[in-house]
Structure 1
Amino acid sequence: AVRHNSGPVHRLHRRTVHQIRTLVRTHLYIGSNMGHLSEIVVFPIKSCKGISTQAATLTNAGLRWDREWMVVKATADEEGRHKFVTIRQESKLALVVPSLPASALSAPLGSEPEAGAAMTVTAPGQAKPLQVALARPQKAALKSVEIWDWKGTGHDEGEEAAAFFTAYLGFPARLVRYLGSASAGEAPDVVRPTDTAYAPGHEVRFADAFPILVASEGALADVNARLAEAGYTPIPPAPALPLTMSRFRPNLVIGGTGAWEEDKWAQLKVSVQGGSGGQVELLAVKPCDRCKVPTVDPATAEKSGGEPYDVLTTFRKGSQLGFSVKQWTHAVFFGQNLVVTPDSVGKTLRVGDAVEFASPAKQW
């Protein structure tokens, strides 16, 4: 529950409000076509905790290892498919912590993981961590899966992984791995394409719809400022201010720009530090419409009432942003969906990389 302009229950300290107001004013008036990568986050397992990393290698389907795995129901539907499970139904997935060897996150594309390298997965109440090999199996254990409107085939990670997630979630569950274009010979339906209406010819693993989500520090600062100005008073389990970016689960966070500058971006050109250097080009293909996932507190897995979704409905609906797409009228938007250009595949992004934004964005 949330109260606006109410009594002193859990009232924000005045200094906190002042700090948030100062932060958003800083972001609102920058108005530059330049910024920098302030954070890179890889989410190895869909809906589980992300890994904030200093560097990540780009593939044709986004950041390497991002949404490479997802949890599915162990019981198949009438078509024999295992449906995906997310934080929307099981908020406690937010407390599952995958970790990867640092060397794996920025390893050159095409390089094999070190012998024995594994993803380690921990979760509250699970005494023994789960180890999942990073090396792809020589022969996949094929499993028919379904995520949104895609029906395809993934690799089943076996009984130990199934037991781990079954015990944690309290119902029969399994862990599956994306096979994709690298394993096209395994089965005919292992490649999941992006929506051809927005990004024809691209591939996405188990992210909701597109390979990369980008958001700006300025946008988050504005959301926090609006909540503070409205006299937002959190009543547990509602979140305290400032809300963190982890609620929105972006892969890339941009600093040094004005609030909502991302609405104007058509392309991001990243000047790559180190390695072979050069430039990465990422295309903005669709504004990101948001569900209620940001109302889940990533620190506690509590569904914390309506915020920040409710405040976004006051100024970030499609109708308020001037979008003409009918089905976007009542949707709320935060962030931009990106795809990787072919020449950028294999390059490595690093925190601190300078980013230049090409405008204008497509008129929706």
Structure 2
Amino acid sequence: MTDADPHLAGIRVYPVKSLDPDPRTRARVLADGGLTHDRAYAIRDADGRYVNGKREPAVHGIDATFDPADHALALRTRSRDRESRPDGALSATTVSLADESGRDAAADWLSTYFDYPVTLDHDGTGGFPDDTTAHGPTVVSTATLDAIGDWFDLGTESVRRRFRPTLEIGGVPAFWEDRLYADREHVVRFRIGDAEFLGTNPCSRCAVPSRDPETGDAIEGFRETFVERREATRPAWADEAWFDHHYRLAVNTAVPEATVGATLTVGDAVTVLDVEAGNPQS
């Protein structure tokens, strides 16, 4: 590890929860721990449940692009989905999410696409995180994504889009990020640039990583293969207290109050500081 050079290699936010990522070079930490524009919008059904990849594989058929300059969301169906729709293509649209009328227009488009009514909700204070206890950004290393790509003969970008991490660490070996959590009673404090985070636990995964992010096609036996390889390659520094199962990847984080308002920039150095008592996930 003496030649490791931990640094922030990538930032990816997901403006609409479950839809496409938006790569950034800089991002600010918000009051509730999320990053600017990350999962700031969420699609919900009539019962208030998230319409996400865990419950609705059709989300993979949506091509979404967000422009933060004017909060413009462009929506279109991917080519394969257009070919499969019996009523022909659903026309592409671009709406501004800066006001309620634009969000309503986006919800109308999405309702037509899913063929059931949905809303597009907004939370600008920290978004709609997957983990509501440790709701800071998730962290993984580029080398880890490379290694998983080798397991399944996938490109790194495909793995990145399947697991949907927020922060990516370069200059380190595969599974280095497993240093960023401890046991169920402790957290690991680490710094990225001027911002400090508390690593809480390795993230338990759902069915989404098994699916092609463009088509939704699933790899047969993905979870079983992943569990076998993850257990075989789990590094000595990964605290086994969290591994009741090995379908875990990337690190969930909590955000100290002093970090709110800090800005992360690609290239920032990453430093592991210390282990502290108190874990919100315990």
Shorter-chain TM band: 0.7 to 0.9
The residue aligned with 1:207 is 129
Aligned residue type for 1:206: F
Call closer, same or farther: CA 1:219–1:359 in 2, change over 3 Å: farther
The answer to whether the 8 A contact 1:50-1:97 is kept is no
The structure 2 residue matched to 1:67, chosen from 30, 39, 59, is: 39
Shift of 1:291: 1.4
Aligned match of 2:227 in 297, 310, 313? 313
> Hey, what does 1:6 align to over in structure 2?
none
Q: CA RMSD in A?
A: 3.0
Larger mean Cα displacement after TM superposition, 289-298 or 86-95: 86-95
Mapped to 2, the partners of 1:211 and 1:306 lie a distance apart of 31
Name the counterpart of 2:244: 329
Residues 307-361 of structure 1: CA distance to partner in whole angstroms, max 9, x if unpaired? 3x333211436xx766346xx5135210001122222222221112221123558
Match of 2:117 in 1: 172
Change (3 A) 1:102 1:72: closer
**Against the structure 1 CA distance between its residues 240 and 99, is the aligned structure 2 distance closer, same or farther, given a 3 Å change threshold?**
closer
> For 2:144, what is the secondary structure of its paired residue?
helix
Q: Secondary structure at the match of 2:240?
A: coil
| Kept after mapping to 2: 8 A contact 1:270/1:280 | yes
Are 1:118 and 2:43 an aligned pair?
Answer: no
Aligned length: 252
Shift in CA distance, 83/64, structure 1 to aligned 2, threshold 3 Å? same
Residues 130 and 102 of structure 1, relative CA distance in 2, 3 Å threshold: closer
CA gap of 1:312–1:267, structure 2 versus 1, over 3 A, is farther
Secondary structure of the 2:145 match is: helix
SS of the equivalent of 1:65 reads coil
SS of the residue corresponding to residue 50 of structure 2 reads strand
> Whole-Å Cα distance in 2 between the matches of residues 281 and 240 of structure 1?
33
- TM-aligned CA distance change 1:361 to 1:288, over 3 Å: farther
Give, in whole Å, the separation in 2 of the partners of 1:324 and 1:133. Answer: 43
Task: Give me the TM-score of the superposition, normalised by structure 2.
Answer: 0.77
CA shift, 1:178, in A, is 2.3
In 1, Cα distance between equivalents of 2:271 and 2:49: 39
1:128, CA displacement in angstroms?
A: 3.6
- After superposition, the C-alpha distances for 1:261-300 in whole angstroms (9 at most, x for unaligned) are 21112233122xxxxxxx1111112221111211121122
- For structure 2, list consecutive stretches of 5 or more residues without a partner in the other structure: 78-88, 181-187
Q: 1:38/1:126 Cα in 2 relative to 1: closer, same or farther (>3 Å)?
A: farther
> Which of 50, 56, 60 is residue 21 of structure 2 equivalent to?
50
Instruction: Provide Cα deviations, 1:213-262, integer angstroms capped at 9, x if missing partner.
Output: 1111122222234x2xxxx6xxxxxx745553111100101111122121
CA distance in 2, matches of 1:305, 1:215: 24
Q: How does 1:1-364 map to 2 (within 5 A)?
A: 30=1, 34-60=5-31, 61-74=33-46, 76=47, 82-103=48-69, 117-124=70-77, 125-134=89-98, 157-158=103-104, 160-178=105-123, 205-209=127-131, 210-225=135-150, 227=151, 240-241=154-155, 243-265=158-180, 266-271=188-193, 279-307=194-222, 309-316=223-230, 323-324=240-241, 329-359=244-274
With the length of structure 1 as denominator, give the TM-score of the two structures: 0.61
Give me the whole-angstrom Cα distance separating, in 2, the residues matched to 1:31 and 1:316. 24
The offset of 1:167, in angstroms, is: 1.2
Secondary structure of the corresponding residue to residue 129 of structure 2: coil
Distance 1:122 1:87, change over 3 A: same
Query: CA 1:87–1:285 in 2, change beyond 3 Å: closer, same or farther?
Result: same
Distance in 1 of aligned mates of 2:49 and 2:91: 27
Equivalent position SS for 1:123: strand
Unaligned 5+ segments in structure 1 are 1-29, 77-81, 104-116, 142-155, 181-203, 233-238, 272-278
Partner SS, residue 300 of structure 1: coil
Deviation digits for residues 159-188 of structure 1, max 9, x if unmatched? x222201111122222111265xxxxxxxx
For the residue of structure 2 that corresponds to 1:212, the secondary structure is coil
Counterpart contact for 1:130–1:164, Cα < 8 Å: no
| Aligned counterparts of 1:267 and 1:360: Cα–Cα separation in 2 | 6
Distance 1:256 1:101, change over 3 A: same
Say if 2:5 and 2:170, in contact at 8 Å, map to a contact too: no
More helix by share: 2
